[in-house]
Amino acid sequence: MAEDEVRIRIPDDDAPSAPGETSAEIKAATERANAEAARARQETAQARAIIEQNQTNQLLTGISLVKAEAANARAAYREAMESGDFDKAAEAQEAIATAASRVHQLESIRDYQAQRPQQPADPVEAFAQGRTEATAAWIRQHPQYIRDQQKFARLQSGHYSAIAEGLTPDTPQYFARVEREIGLRKGEQQAVKRSNDPHTHVQGGSVYLPPGEAERSRDGSLTWQRHDVKAGRCSAEQVGSPIGLEEMARRKSFFLKQGAYDRLD
């Protein structure tokens, strides 16, 4: 193996799962329940939109009808005054006042409804509305996990898995855990498989990264710096982004040669 070549070894995929890990049956049941909940929310939102639209249409129709009544009352008032029928003129005046009051009430309701925050037609925007900036940004970047009910169920499952592990929402660690759960980080998923085997740091020329080190390589704990650009290890655009598994293994290999490691902690 070349002097600067680094190979990353990961724990065996067939290693037993850690105690307390969610079983396939429980996860499947959770996903089904979340899918049903998502479907119910979608149907409720659609029904609410139809009701609101019908109410708006009825309100506008009502305003038009009352304005027509007011116009007829004004015409009746003019005719009554021209003919000298003051009783009919008084009735027309009363009808005009009543119509004006009803128009005012209906228009006030219309204006109130227009000023209320409207639920976006796009389900992605509807879901993102009112959430934190980080969560809303993630949702807009992955709209398929809101529009597709099965993917939404996996997203919900990933959220609860991250919460169960004690991760705080909106943190890099939280998003990383959710993305691994829903399959966006398939390449990294194996690197953080739990294993209780007492592996050494170096075995067969490979560099072993236990789950904690693999996690730190991509959760934002370790990021590229400007001096890495000068050393040719990353581009200027990568500054501030996680270093990743390969660079983590390279750095570990360097420290291993310095005698910084003995056995796994």
Q: In sequence order, what are the residues at sequence separation of 6 or more whose Cβ sits closer than 8 angstroms to the Cβ of residue 42?
A: 123, 149
Look at residues 153, 155, 176 and name the one whose alpha carbon lies nearest to residue 165: 176
Asked whether the CA dihedral 42, 47, 51, 54 is positive or negative, the reply is positive
CB 181 within 8 A of CB 207: no
- For residue 163, the model assigns a pLDDT of 87
Q: State the Cα angle at 252 between 250 and 256, rounded to 5°.
A: 120
Beta strands in 183-262 (DSSP E): 202-203, 206-208
Residue 206 — very low, low, confident or very high, per pLDDT cuts 50/70/90?
Answer: low
Q: State the Cα angle at 23 between 15 and 190, rounded to 5°.
A: 40
- For residue 199, the model assigns a pLDDT of 41
Does 227 score more than 70 pLDDT?
A: yes
Does 93 score more than 80 pLDDT?
A: yes
- C-alpha count within 13 angstroms, C-beta hemisphere, residue 28: 3
Instruction: Compute the residue count for the chain.
Output: 265
Quote the radius of gyration of the chain (alpha carbons, Å).
33
CB 209 within 8 A of CB 188: no
The gap between the terminal CA atoms of the chain, to the nearest Å, is 27
Residue 63, number of CB atoms within 10 A of its CB: 17
Distance between CA atoms of 7 and 127, rounded to whole angstroms?
Answer: 42
Beta strands in 3-128 (DSSP E): 8-9
Beta-sheet pairing, 206-208 with 202-203:
antiparallel
Does 30 score more than 70 pLDDT?
A: no
Distance between CA atoms of 218 and 225, rounded to whole angstroms?
Answer: 14
Does 44 score more than 70 pLDDT?
A: no
User: What is the token pair recorded at 222?
Assistant: 């370790």
Q: What are the φ/ψ torsions at residue 200 (nearest 5 degrees)? A: -85, 170
Which whole-number Å values give the CA distances from 261 to 249, 257, 258, in the listed order?
13, 9, 8
CB 52 within 8 A of CB 61: no
Which of these ranges, 59-63, 99-103, 147-151, 202-206, has the smallest mean pLDDT? 202-206
- For residue 43, the model assigns a pLDDT of 67
Residue 204 — very low, low, confident or very high, per pLDDT cuts 50/70/90?
Answer: very low
Q: Is the pTM of this model over 0.85?
A: no
- For residue 118, the model assigns a pLDDT of 60
